Amino acid sequence: MLSYDDLQALWLTLQLATVTVCVLLIVGTPIAWWLAHSRSKLQTIVEAVVALPLVLPPTVLGFYLLIAMSPQGIIGSPWLQFTDATLSFSFTALVIASTLYSLPFVVQPLQTSFEAVGSMPLETASMLRASPVDAFISVASPLALRGYITATVLGFAHTLGEFGVVLMVGGSIPGKTKVLSISIYDHVETLEYAQAHTLSGGLLLFSFITLLIVYTINRRLPIRVA
């Protein structure tokens, strides 16, 4: 039913989404934590920067990233020096671009849940001799579990569906940077509607089921903080 090319695109897309979500959770947690707890004046600026991908046309983000990751660019040139490989049109480039593009989808739910948890559980933990890191791991993050589930699913689903940025940054190299959404576009362009239907229907079903699972889990989760 699926051609070899389509299977390759599917596999690549799943890899990209998984890696991106992992990176996003690692990068997004400290940013969200800082946004939730800081009293700094920089907070508003950082919040706006994080939210930029929500309003920015993907091609704009893709364009700037393409320039930055080119062999002469500010990221691409040191990358070439250290790794002996060009960054643009690589899987790594896709991960970097996807991370930036999906950042608000991870940071915002995390920030909301960290704000809901508040500082009280952390203060309580410190009265029980827990260091701040310990308090975060053993108290704050379990209490923010809903936020983590929402962030993971939104980050994953949003990466699955991105098109503009990956096209700009990755090109459309089969097996290397050609993701599912680009495959669908190619099928439609060449009037292969049957294949486009299969992939589109699959993505639609997948997205719906994931959201259904998330909402079910969120509703049944025993811990309600706010």
Partner 1 sequence: MIHIFFSSQRLYRTAFLDTRVIMSAEPLIALDHISLIYPGNISPAITDISFSVCEGDLVAILGPSGCGKTTVLRVIAGFERPTQGQVSISGKLVASPNAWVEAENRGVGMVFQDYALFPHLTVMQNVAFGLRHSTPHSQHEKVREVLTLVGLGGFESHYPNALSGGQQQRVALARALAPRPAVLLLDEPFSNLDPDMTERMREELLEILERTGSTSILVTHDHEEALDMADNVAVLNTGRLEQLGTPDEIYHTPTTEFVADFVGQADFVPGQISKGKVVTEVGIFENVRKIQEQTRVLVMIRPDDVRIRPCETASAQVLRRHFRGSENLYRVLLPSGQLLYSSESSTAVYPVGTTVEVHVETIHTVVFPQEQKCPHP
Site for partner 1 in 36-55 (CB under 8 A): 39
By CB under 8 A, residue 133 contacts partner 1 = no
- Are 53 and 132 in contact by the 8 Å Cβ rule? The answer is no
CA distances from 166 to 11, 37, 172 (A): 15, 33, 8
Among 59, 70, 126, 218, binds partner 1 (CB under 8 A): 126
- Are 160 and 152 in contact by the 8 Å Cβ rule? The answer is no
Site for partner 1 in 205-224 (CB under 8 A): 222-224
- Are 182 and 163 in contact by the 8 Å Cβ rule? The answer is yes
Question: Using CB under 8 A, which of the segments 95-103, 121-129, 191-199, 203-211 binds partner 1?
Answer: 121-129
By CB under 8 A, residue 149 contacts partner 1 = no
The amino acid at 18 = T
CB 31 to partner 1: min, Å: 22
CB 109 to partner 1: min, Å: 18
CA dihedral 40→141→47→76, nearest 10 degrees, is: 110
By CB under 8 A, residue 92 contacts partner 1 = no
Beta-carbon contacts of residue 65 (< 8 Å; ≥ 6 apart): 93, 96, 97, 100, 165, 168, 169
What distance in Å separates the CA atoms of residue 172 and residue 210, rounded to the nearest whole number?
27
Q: How many residues bind partner 1 (CB under 8 A)?
A: 22
Where do we find the tokens 């896709």? 94
For residue 62, give the nearest of 165, 170, 177 by alpha carbon: 165
By CB under 8 A, residue 147 contacts partner 1 = no
Question: Using CB under 8 A, which of the segments 29-37, 85-93, 136-144, 153-161 binds partner 1?
Answer: 136-144
- Are 35 and 107 in contact by the 8 Å Cβ rule? The answer is yes
By CB under 8 A, residue 125 contacts partner 1 = yes
By CB under 8 A, residue 124 contacts partner 1 = yes
CB 121 to partner 1: min, Å: 6
By CB under 8 A, residue 1 contacts partner 1 = no
**Chain contacts with partner 1 (rule: CB under 8 A):** 39, 120-121, 123-132, 138-139, 142-143, 145, 222-225
